[in-house]
Structure formats: structure tokens, C-alpha cells
């Protein structure tokens, strides 16, 4: 086949319409450009030039040139193609961004948890104070402890002069011995009198039998008269014996009362002697001693006070002020937690409320009342909060433990995204049906004996999501602490409800 080997028509005839991808780049070659037609005006002026450049397949050159020629000759077509391209790109971007910006529900899962309502305040740690005083009067003979000394429960603190109490005990013992002797004598006399009564009664029985026999034989005889006289004497002897027995019994009663009195006096004397020795009522540190040897216990420069004060730092107390608006929720026995940063930066102690003192502090908006609390010594561990340290107090006023709970965000979402007027994600009819079902659930819950006084109930609805649609879920809610709410009825553990929305574009 003749002609120029670079002619496109010759290349097409030789290789066919081969795609450009099947051609491999050819090495650089010297390409001669000569005038093709002798009659071109510029042919005579063109000089033969040699350049080095890649050789491009003729078939590809042909198609590209034809496309360029077509586009150059048809400007409207070029504009139309550009407009279509821009429209397609814009539509794709719009659909992608619009779809990404569409809200997607986020979910909260029902699970077991605790709901606690508490109030927080501050207080001051105090030691448990014990006062030790003699229960009897006297003069101090010895003081066995000093201020600052650690003492154990039952340890001797001080003693009084025991001489008066020892003398009283000796006298009481003597009286008791005397009354014991008297009661022994009375017991003997009573026994003798009882024996005499028995003998007189037997003698009377014998005389009465003999008189009956004699009088039956000869009613008017001398023997009958003598026997009758003997009966009269026996009756008189029996009456006398009985009188003596009564007197002995009365004497015995007097002796018993005397013994009781002497025994009581003896016990009192013994107790007074024992009370002359003062022992520690509780373990702790001696903080105050009022009195001196030779003087009265409790004597101070301004009068009388407690003799010895012992502070137990192992069972600390806390006094906290609670505002008048919250004091009504505080009751004795409520649980509390404490932190004492000055004793430990991380330790938390447990305790209980012991009472509310009706001693107002401040006035107006700052009116507060002291609340007394005690810390459980078992929760202290190796930490020792000392009197005067500040305490951060959290008093738990209401609590529900190990119950079904849902995040508060789910409740808030239902209120904001699905208002009762039906202007949100739920229709008015959906909300009405859910509230009707929730009220029925509430009645069923109350019928089981649920104590709504301690845990008020709320029949309401939450928002669910199923098959691409929002649905209303009737529920009965209980206690809420602001983070999560108790689910009393309507949901089971593991179920999910809508708690919010997010978009794929903005997260």
C-alpha cells in the first residue's frame, strides 16, 4: 500500500479503528513536515524543519481532530454540553447535601439503675462528746487522767474521799445483820406458836370425843359434867395458841420489813461507795477537767460545770445548715454521704441524719436550720476527720434502687419534639391514644399496691421509631433526678426510645 505512512487514512486502513488505549507510546522520531499540496500559498515559504516529539497513533488523532472540528463548527452544542454538565454536578451535590442534612434519630436504652434525689450543703465536723460526772457528792481524793490523754471505756478517771461512804456502808451492814437476827427470832416464835396451835387443836378434839361418850351414857351424870368442862378448857387453850401465833406472824412481818429496809440501805451504801470512783463512759480523748484534788468535782471559777469531758474522734458528727425551703425534706434516718477535703482529697464517708435542730440561723432568704448527722465509723477507713474541719454533705431525700430507668434526654425530647398539640413528630391522635393507654397503665400499677406517696407517678408518652416513622409509646414514669427517670410501666429493659436527632453532615 503506497503513500505517506503517516497519513491517517492509510493508518486506519492498515490497523482499523483501534482504541487509543491499545497503542503504546512510540519512541521519539524525526518527523518531516512537507508541503502537502503544491498549490498552497505558503508552501514555497515553508522550510523543511525537523523536531523531536512523540509519535501519536493516527486513529486517535483522527477521532480527536474530528471532535474538535465538530465542536468548533457548533458553538451552541458546546454551550449545551457545558450547561448539562453543570446541572448534573449541581443536582448531585444538592441531593448529597440535602440527604446528609436530614435529621436522624438518636436513641436511649432502658436499663437497670438507681435514681436518687439529694441536696448538698456544707457543715463542720465535730467529735462525739461524752460528759463524765460523779453521781454522788464528795471531795476529790484523786484525779487519774490529764487533758489530752487517750482513755479507754471503763478506765478510772478520778475518785472521791470514800471514808463517808465506807462508814455508811459499815452502818448499813450492821443494821442488816441485826435485822437478820430479828427475823430469825421471829421465825422461831412463829414456828413455836404454830406448834402450840396444833397441840391445842388436838387436845380439843380428844376432849370433845370423850365428852360425847360420857354424856351419851349418862347425860346428867358427874362424868358428863366433868368432860364438858374439860372441853371448855381445851377451847380456851386453842384460842390462846392462835392469838400467840398471830402475834408471832405480825412480828415476822415487821422483821421482814426491817430486813428489806436494811438490805436497801446496804445496797445504797455499796452503790455510793462504788460511785465514788468515776470511770470513762466511752473511749476518747480527755479535753476538759473541771476540779482539783481536795475540791468539788465540776467546780470552776464561775460556778459548776461538767467534771470531765471526753471527745471521741472515731465517731465524728457533722452539723450542717439547710435552707428553710429544703428543710422540710429532711428526716431523721435519711442516708447521707460526706467528704472532708482537709482530711482526704478523695475519700467519701457514709452516715445518717440524726435530727433537725429548731434553732434558726439568719433571716429572710438566708434563713437556715442546723441538721445533725453522724458518720459511720466503719466508712472512715484510715482517714481521721478532726473536729473543726469542713465537710461537704450530700443528704439523700428520695431514692429508688435497682429499677428500670431511661435517660432524661428521652423525656425532654418527647416534650419538645412531640408537643400535645400535634405540631411535632407525633400527631395529635397518636398522642391522645398514648395518653389514654398510659393512664390505664397507671391505674393497673396502683392496683398492685405501688406506693405513689413515696414515688409519685406520671402517665405520659415517649417517642419511638419504627419502619422509618415516629411512634408514640405510652409509659408511666416515677422518680427523676435530672439525669435519668424511673420507668414504672410501659417499657422493658433493653428497649430503645428516641432521645434526640442528628444530621449526617453536621454530626
Q: Is the pLDDT of residue 90 over 80?
A: no
Stretch 293-313: mean pLDDT: 86
Q: Is the pLDDT of residue 337 over 90?
A: yes
pLDDT for res 16 = 44
**Residue 73 — pLDDT band, cuts 50, 70, 90?**
low
pTM of the predicted model, to two decimals? 0.54
**Alpha carbon separation from 10 to 56, 66, 220 (Å, rounded):** 14, 16, 197
Structure-model confidence comparison of residues 379 and 99, the more confident one: 379
Structure-model confidence comparison of residues 82 and 370, the more confident one: 370
What element of type H or E holds 32? Answer: strand 26-32
Structure-model confidence comparison of residues 91 and 49, the more confident one: 91
Report yes or no: 417 and 105 within 8 Å, Cβ to Cβ: no
Q: Residue 387 carries which DSSP code?
A: T
Give the end-to-end CA distance of the chain in Å, rounded to a whole number: 69
pLDDT for res 332 = 94
| DSSP secondary structure string for all residues of 51-112 | EEEEEPPHHHHHHHHHHHHHHHH-HHHHHHHHHHHHHHHHHHHHHHHHHHHSEEEEEEE-EE
Question: Which of 293, 258, 264, 266 minimizes the C-alpha distance to 165?
Answer: 266
How many other C-beta atoms can be found within 10 angstroms of the C-beta atom of residue 380?
21
Report yes or no: 489 and 475 within 8 Å, Cβ to Cβ: yes
Stretch 116-143: mean pLDDT: 93
Level-2 CATH architecture, domain 162-275: Orthogonal Bundle (1.10)
Give the E-state strand segments of 277-330 in sequence order. Answer: 277-279, 284-289, 299-300, 303-304, 308-323
Stretch 308-324: mean pLDDT: 92
Stretch 128-143: mean pLDDT: 93
pLDDT tens-digit map of 193-223: 788 888 888 888 888 887 787 787 777 778 7
Share of the chain above pLDDT 90, in %: 50
Structure-model confidence comparison of residues 65 and 237, the more confident one: 237
pLDDT for res 6 = 45
Least confident of 36-45, 81-90, 348-357: 36-45
Q: What is the largest CA-CA distance in the chain?
A: 214
pLDDT for res 86 = 80
pLDDT for res 215 = 81
Select the CATH number that applies to the domain covering 309-399 from these four: 3.30.70.141, 3.50.50.60, 1.10.357.10, 2.40.30.170: 2.40.30.170
pLDDT for res 24 = 43
Q: Is the pLDDT of residue 227 over 90?
A: no
How many other C-beta atoms can be found within 10 angstroms of the C-beta atom of residue 160?
23
Domain positions in the chain are: 8-73, 107-111+404-503, 134-154+280-306, 162-275, 309-399
How many other C-beta atoms can be found within 10 angstroms of the C-beta atom of residue 183?
20
pLDDT for res 249 = 81
pLDDT tens-digit map of 377-419: 999 999 989 889 999 999 999 999 999 999 999 999 999 999 9
Mean confidence (pLDDT) of the chain = 82
pLDDT tens-digit map of 461-492: 999 999 889 999 999 999 999 999 999 999 99
Amino acid at each position: 500500500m503506497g503513500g505517506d505512512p503517516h497519513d491517517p487514512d492509510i493508518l486506519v486502513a492498515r490497523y482499523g479503528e483501534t482504541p487509543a488505549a491499545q497503542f503504546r507510546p512510540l519512541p521519539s522520531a524525526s518527523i518531516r513536515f512537507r508541503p502537502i499540496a503544491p498549490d498552497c500559498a505558503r508552501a514555497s515559504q515553508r522550510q523543511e524543519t525537523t523536531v523531536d516529539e512523540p509519535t501519536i497513533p493516527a486513529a486517535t488523532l483522527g477521532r480527536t481532530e474530528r471532535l474538535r472540528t465538530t465542536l468548533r463548527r457548533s458553538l451552541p452544542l458546546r454551550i449545551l454540553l457545558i450547561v448539562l454538565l453543570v446541572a448534573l454536578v449541581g443536582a448531585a451535590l444538592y441531593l448529597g447535601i440535602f440527604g446528609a442534612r436530614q435529621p436522624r434519630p438518636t436513641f436511649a436504652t432502658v436499663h437497670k439503675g438507681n435514681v436518687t434525689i439529694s441536696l448538698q450543703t456544707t457543715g463542720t465536723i465535730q467529735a462525739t462528746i461524752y460528759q463524765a460526772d460523779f453521781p454522788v457528792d464528795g471531795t476529790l481524793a484523786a484525779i487519774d487522767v490529764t487533758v489530752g490523754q487517750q482513755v479507754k471505756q471503763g478506765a478510772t478517771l478520778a475518785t472521791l474521799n470514800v471514808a463517808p461512804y465506807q462508814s455508811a456502808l459499815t452502818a448499813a451492814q450492821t443494821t442488816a445483820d441485826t435485822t437478820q437476827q430479828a427475823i430469825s427470832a421471829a421465825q422461831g416464835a412463829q414456828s413455836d406458836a404454830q406448834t402450840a396451835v396444833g397441840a391445842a387443836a388436838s387436845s380439843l378434839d380428844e376432849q370433845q370425843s370423850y365428852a360425847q361418850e360420857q354424856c351419851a351414857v349418862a347425860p346428867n351424870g358427874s362424868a358428863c359434867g366433868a368432860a364438858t368442862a374439860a372441853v371448855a378448857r381445851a377451847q380456851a387453850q386453842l384460842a390462846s395458841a392462835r392469838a400467840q401465833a398471830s402475834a408471832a406472824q405480825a412480828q415476822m412481818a415487821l422483821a421482814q420489813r426491817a430486813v428489806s429496809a436494811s438490805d436497801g440501805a446496804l445496797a445504797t451504801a455499796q452503790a455510793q461507795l462504788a460511785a465514788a470512783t468515776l470511770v470513762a463512759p466511752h473511749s476518747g480523748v480527755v479535753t476538759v477537767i473541771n476540779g482539783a484534788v481536795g475540791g468539788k468535782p465540776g467546780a470552776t471559777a464561775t460556778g459548776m460545770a461538767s467534771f470531765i469531758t471526753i471527745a471521741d474522734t472515731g465517731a465524728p458528727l457533722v452539723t450542717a445548715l439547710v435552707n428553710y425551703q429544703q428543710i422540710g425534706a429532711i428526716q431523721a434516718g435519711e442516708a447521707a454521704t460526706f467528704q472532708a477535703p482537709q482530711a482526704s482529697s478523695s475519700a467519701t464517708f457514709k452516715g445518717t441524719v440524726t435530727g433537725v435542730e429548731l434553732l434558726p440561723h439568719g433571716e429572710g432568704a438566708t434563713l437556715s436550720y442546723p441538721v445533725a448527722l453522724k458518720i459511720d465509723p466503719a466508712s472512715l477507713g484510715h482517714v481521721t476527720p478532726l473536729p473543726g474541719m469542713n465537710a461537704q454533705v450530700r443528704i439523700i431525700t428520695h431514692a429508688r434502687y435497682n429499677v428500670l430507668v431511661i435517660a432524661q434526654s428521652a423525656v425532654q425530647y418527647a416534650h419538645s419534639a412531640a408537643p400535645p398539640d400535634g405540631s411535632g413528630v407525633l400527631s395529635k391522635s397518636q398522642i391522645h391514644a398514648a395518653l389514654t393507654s398510659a393512664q390505664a397503665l397507671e391505674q393497673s400499677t396502683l392496683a398492685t399496691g405501688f406506693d405513689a406517696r413515696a414515688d409519685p407517678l406520671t402517665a405520659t408518652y415517649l417517642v419511638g421509631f419504627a419502619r422509618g416513622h415516629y411512634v408514640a409509646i405510652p409509659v408511666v414514669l416515677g422518680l427523676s433526678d435530672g439525669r435519668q427517670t424511673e420507668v414504672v410501666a410501659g417499657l422493658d429493659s433493653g428497649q430503645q426510645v428516641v432521645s434526640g436527632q442528628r444530621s449526617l453532615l453536621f454530626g
